[in-house]
Amino acid sequence: MIQLEHISQTYLTPEGKRFDALKDVSIHIRPGEIFGIIGRSGAGKSTLVRCINLLNRPTSGRVVVDGADLTAMSEEELRRTRRGIGMIFQHFNLLSSRTVYENVALPLELAGVGKAEIRAKVEPLLKLVGLDEHAHKYPPQLSGGQKQRVGIARALTNDPKVLLSDEATSALDPETTTATLQLLKRINAKLGLTIVMITHEMNVVKQICDRVVVMNKGEIVEHGTVIDVFAKPQSDTTKALIGNVQARDLPESIIERVRAARERRGGRDEAHLLRLSFIGGDVTRPVISECSRRFGVDINILRGTVDDLRGQTVGTLTVLVEGSREVYEQLVDFVRSCGVIVEELSDVD
């Protein structure tokens, strides 16, 4: 559906220096999926999403949407193509002098659509986003979540195949964010839209996305399914972002307990710190108790989390294993044979 091929974006600063906002970025987004692009502020994610509809024309590279190369189009062809790409924003961009109905109808009015056809399009959209009873209210009379629903309805007026969401939940409270994401999931399922989510919040990604890329300083540093990225983060950027929702770093009080155990056992070879990640059905298997019985070792659970990611359960345990190096290595091999992801930690040395 969407192919970004070797996208680079270079600017000159006021001082005349070169700034690379995007560096050779390539992404393939499948039809009908919800795709996440995440990174900290300044990572290049908003610049990248604006390349998809060519609101931002890249310095180099190709943008192909539904088989059409946008970078090779004339301005008139590009205007027509953009009608099939909806976009919602962080700050809603509603006109306060127009009612909810009139805000949603605006793109159709600008396209010269008649009143009867506008009504036939707008009224079902307001019902879809749950605002049919608020059609004649003005934006100042709405909550933040309701304003964002107006923005979503407006983005759907031209029957787009693609919906771009640029930090659309950043201005919302957690409860409203969850409700908005649930609405987007329903729209994705009902209309078959391809949705691209730009966010700096891993909590948003884990609730809604199928796949995700992680960006840092204009480059992709990690990509994969949401489950794989959460369970097996590779880059420091990903680990830091996941840490915000999974509390991956150990508090000092637990670190002191680990150090005390190692001292008690006579050194680091006798006390081992592991992070275990379980996916799907493996979450319910009593792997820890199996290991304790099989190898005769003490296993102390220091921290645990369980997340639901797109209908699959991902559990993470941080444990301290006390035993000889030989037994420990056998235990790790056994745990991995059970389908558990094992990460050996050294952050208490």
The count of domains in the chain is 2
Quote the CA–CA distance of 19 and 2 in Å, as a whole number. Answer: 26
The token pair that represents 239 in the structure block: 């680990």
Quote the CA–CA distance of 346 and 274 in Å, as a whole number. Answer: 9
* Residues belonging to the chain: 349
Residues 94 and 190 in one domain: yes
Could you give the angle at which helices 325-337 and 287-295 cross, rounded to 10 degrees? 140
Residues 75 and 163 in one domain: yes
Cα angle 50-160-228, degrees, rounded to a multiple of 5: 65
pLDDT in tens, 82-122: 989 999 988 888 999 999 999 999 999 998 999 999 999 99
Residues 316 and 181 in one domain: no
Quote the CA–CA distance of 58 and 70 in Å, as a whole number. Answer: 11
pLDDT in tens, 220-272: 999 999 888 887 888 989 888 886 555 555 667 777 776 776 676 565 557 78
Span 127-149, average pLDDT = 94
Full domain range(s) for residue 299:
252-344
Per-residue 3-state assignment (H helix, E strand, C coil) for 104-129: HHHHHHHCCCCHHHHHHHHHHHHHHC
- DSSP string covering 197-228, please? EEES-HHHHHHH-SEEEEEETTEEEEEEEHHH
Residue 213 domain-assigned?
A: yes
Residues 267 and 122 in one domain: no
Span 164-182, average pLDDT = 90
Farthest CA pair distance, the chain: 82
Residues 226 and 286 in one domain: no
Q: What is the CATH number of the domain that holds 288?
A: 3.30.70.260
Residue 219 domain-assigned?
A: yes
Residue 239 domain-assigned?
A: no
Q: What is the CATH number of the domain that holds 195?
A: 3.40.50.300
Residues 217 and 269 in one domain: no
Amino acid found at 328 = Y
Could you give the angle at which helices 144-155 and 174-191 cross, rounded to 10 degrees? 20
> Structure pTM?
0.81
The dihedral region occupied by 63, where left means phi > 0, alpha psi between -120 and 50, and beta the remainder, is beta
Residues 267 and 326 in one domain: yes
Residue 264 domain-assigned?
A: yes
Residues 164 and 313 in one domain: no
Residues 205 and 59 in one domain: yes
pLDDT in tens, 7-56: 999 998 888 889 999 999 999 999 999 999 999 988 999 999 999 999 99
